[in-house]
Structure 1
Amino acid sequence: MRKDRLRQYLQIVLAALVVVTSALATRVIWERSALSTARSTGETRAELVAQTISDTIAQNAHFPLVLALDPDVQATLAEPAPDVIDALNRKLETIEASGSPAALYVMRPDGYTLAASNWNTQGSFVGQYYGFRSYFTQAIANGEGTYFGIGVTTGRAGYFIARAVGSTQPAGVAVAKIEFDDLEAIWARAAEHIMVTDENDIIFLASRPEWKYRSLAPVDETAITRIQSTRQYAGTEIEQLRMDEHTPDGDQVWAEGLPDNGSFLRQTVHIPELGWTVNQLTDLSSVADARRDGTMIGATGSALVIAILFYLAQRQRSLAIERAARADLEQRVAERTSALREVNDTLHVEVEERRRTERELRSAQNDLIQAGKLAALGQMSAAIAHEINQPLTAMRTYIATTRVFVPLGDPGAILDNLEKVDNLAVRMGRITSHLKSFARKEGMGPAEVISADRAVHKALDLVDVQLQADAITIRKSIVPAFTRGNDVRLEQVIINLVRNAIDAVQEAPEPVVEVSMHTANGRIFIEVRDHGPGFDPAILETLFDPFVTTKPSGAGLGLGLTISYEIIHEFGGTLRAANHPEGGAVLTVELVAVDEASSPSPTEVADNG
């Protein structure tokens, strides 16, 4: 009995040693594997960042050379007449708009900017002195120059590439500025930890704004003096970024701004042609997780093997217990299966109920949109009736005079009256046609290619009588464009926005409503601006919520903008509200522009009508 107990103790101690050894070994293996994976991933990311920066600069490096060889640039530097400078400004603006540089400009030999692509903006480079910048002095001395720094005029950082105009005696310098704001935004959205440093270990590009213009190591006085003389970083005081090293070789660190309990793998890739270094910080939380998982798997695996061995050794004694446990397990599985079946049936019922609710909600939303259109027609009915009544009265007058002219045998007067009656009939027909198409209840069918400008014009035709009745001036600037959606629903949105603008200028001494439409970068922008008091800033963020209104009590339910927002959202666009800098409110509808070639044919339109 005593020997059996001693043997059991020895077996337990041996099993414990095996479990601990297996756990430690597996922990080391998994940790090294995870660290190797993190190292490979970080290295790939750092190389990709370096390549992206190099490619961005390479894509724009030809612009200064092309400008330096351009006859217009050379002629303007030779004879800088105002009209010639203006033409060069516009040419640079066109080139910059079709390319990717942030700015293109031409400098005189004395360091002053002669022409620039941003000549008509608030931060124009024209007339500014940049002779102290090293890219200018390098270009004058060596024919070309590069430089990274914060713009003196714009305050925006960028990389400058310069080329001298003329081979022997430079007549000026052509410069292209490249900005990396989009690249930094991509890093930030991807939650990357990236720093790009210059030859002085000063961070000038980073995924975190608080890292920028701080150094990874102390900067000597000579470099500080040179940076200040060229105003490279616009007078920013260079402070050292706090960074703690967790390993002797410094490859695992923590940097200020990152989680306090975190550890990060630091990997660098040098860009020799620029003298820059990309620092990639890879989160090592996955290595800690792998270390923990490896320990657990090693311990669990070895314990499982030992348990199997114990099980085999004592199988005969535990056979009865095993049978009882199996029966109990089968009973639990049956109970669990039954419970899961009931839950599954309940989920099917809930899913079907949700689908029914969504259908009812969509139907209610469609009815609410139709009610909004009818409400708008009701509010405009008096003005529309007055607009139609005038042509009817005039037509009766012309018909009465025609009866007088017939016995007199005056065909000229008769034809003139008939032409006037016809024009009045066409005018009433256009109004009633817009009313019929606008009042028609639209279904929730698929979006079609529609003429956005035509929908805007039709909407303005419907509110024109109200504008005339209220003596409101309407200013229009509309360009042709096509989008995907529903023309009647787009008309309703424009009518809602214009009617809101009409309400906003009722008390204005000179009521004016502006409707403009333009396209840019594959998007359509429709803006409705009033010259009223503007929005209260306190409700701007909740303006599109249901039952939020700026009108007096009883003047509206606060659903018009909510319905308009949902309609534009269904079209794949956005609806924004803001206060105009010069006063009044402005609401902007942004839609996706499509090619006119994809619009339906007249036959298709007739079939759909």
Structure 2
Amino acid sequence: MTLVRSLVFVALAAALAWGGAQGVVISRAQTELDQTLLLTTRAVETEVERLRALPDVAAEDVRVRDALAGQGALQAANHYLETVAVHAQAGELFLIDAQGDTIASSNWNRPGSFVGQNYAFRPYFQDAMAQGKGQFYAIGVTTGVPGYFLSTRIDVGDARGVLVVKLDLRPIEEIWRVAEADVALADENGVVFLSARPDWQYRALTHLQPDQLARIEATRAYSGIVLAGAEPLAQAAPDGGSVGGDGWIARVATMPSTGWQVIAARSTAGLQALSIGAAILAALATLALAAALKAWDQRRQLVALRLQQSEKLESMVVARTADLAREVEARAQVEVDLRAAQEALVHTEKMAALGRMSAAIVHEISQPLAAMEATLSAAELGLRGDDTATATRLHKAKGLIRRMQRTTKHLKSFARKDGVERSLIDLSVPVVSALELVAPRARDVGVMPVFEAPEGKIKVLAGTIRIEQVVANLLLNALDAVADVSGAAITVRLETEGGLACLSVEDTGKGIAQNDLPHVAEPFFSTKLTGESLGLGLAICKAILSDFNGTLDIRSAPGSGTRVSVTMPLAVATGAEAA
């Protein structure tokens, strides 16, 4: 079974190698044929273009024009055309009158002279008379010598005629045969008229249609040659410039100046030999590879038998190592859990200490504040009736003391939640009070907050002092953010949207780092220098707003400032509770 499989692989490799080599050698051969096409096309075009202007030049001679007009001697024209043909190395030059009769020719004194012959049936005469120029390849009906005819019309007064030069291309064909260049020329109908292969002469590449045969017969292009019964050279019409036949392949290109088809061919015998050689080499290489793989497989089995015990021992070591790794990982996780529990206990103790400190601060400050209030009241009683300025200052001082008394009661609101008292208030009132409260700090920083509020009252159910505490805290944070920023600004905006009162404090300060933004409202988290803040401001604000069904949203980016938004339900949305 293994032998059969190996033979199948060898055959498959040989077939693939043959196919690949066939494609490569054919592609390379086509490239070489394209180069041959280019060189052949340029050589033929050079030979044709060498004499293309000769009829125009010769037609300007007075002897030719006088002969056509019937005013000069035809013999002078014959001698002139003979001299020009010799010097220009052209085949023949002859002059035809308007009826198609040749009246002067370069071969006037040689057998097969064109003089007196009528060529009105030739396309080169008809095209020149109609369009001024003509060109046509044909076998001469007079001499039997093939050639390429270039013609031009001559107008001399009322007389009209055609001057024709016949270009003999047989020297080019002889050069091809000497150089063993497998090239050929075919006319617009696909009939080969010039070839290095004698057996291709006057044969069509593909089957000629009846209309093509009729046109060839009418022009007598291949006089004396039977084309109808000849077998075509190619097996199919050219596809993409490629064509092939029995034992050969070729590339075909059209020559723009003449409309001819240039054919460069090559035998496929050498290409097949290269493909077969590649297939044989692939088969041998596959056999060698199969033998090497078989030897390697036997050696691998032997090594596997010797290492079987070692692998079993290694698997035991790996299993034990995995157990130890799991044990180490479990111990590390326990340490992490213990550390987290310890941090939670420390945080809980901080919260308890904060509650005790808040109660102690309220107790220690409330009595001095009450005494100060009583002293200010006594001072008011001792004022003269006309001292209104001092009375105003004392009244304002008493108001600040009462505010401090109310504010200190909320220091322990974060550690212990008490009953929340709510009343119907205008939200702009605590905002204005907070702006007045932070005005000294704003003057020190050099940035005065701008307050934008709509006309009319925005009523919510909340506590005035606690909302004032929230706004003051947000303003102080904004002032700290713009303290060292030149040209900074703080905007406080109050508006309503969708049944909500929206209060925003926006600054153009330093902003908050993206890593710190999720933690700024957490207790004891602060980005300020050690000792400047406990990190409780935003946490207390968030706790106060939650008592009034409000929310706190913070948006910031480093270097782009910070926007803190507070939203609370409008009182009109909870009419029953307001009543």
TM-score range, shorter chain: 0.3 to 0.5
TM-score, normalising length: structure 2: 0.46
Name the larger-Rg structure.
Answer: 2
TM-score (norm 1): 0.44
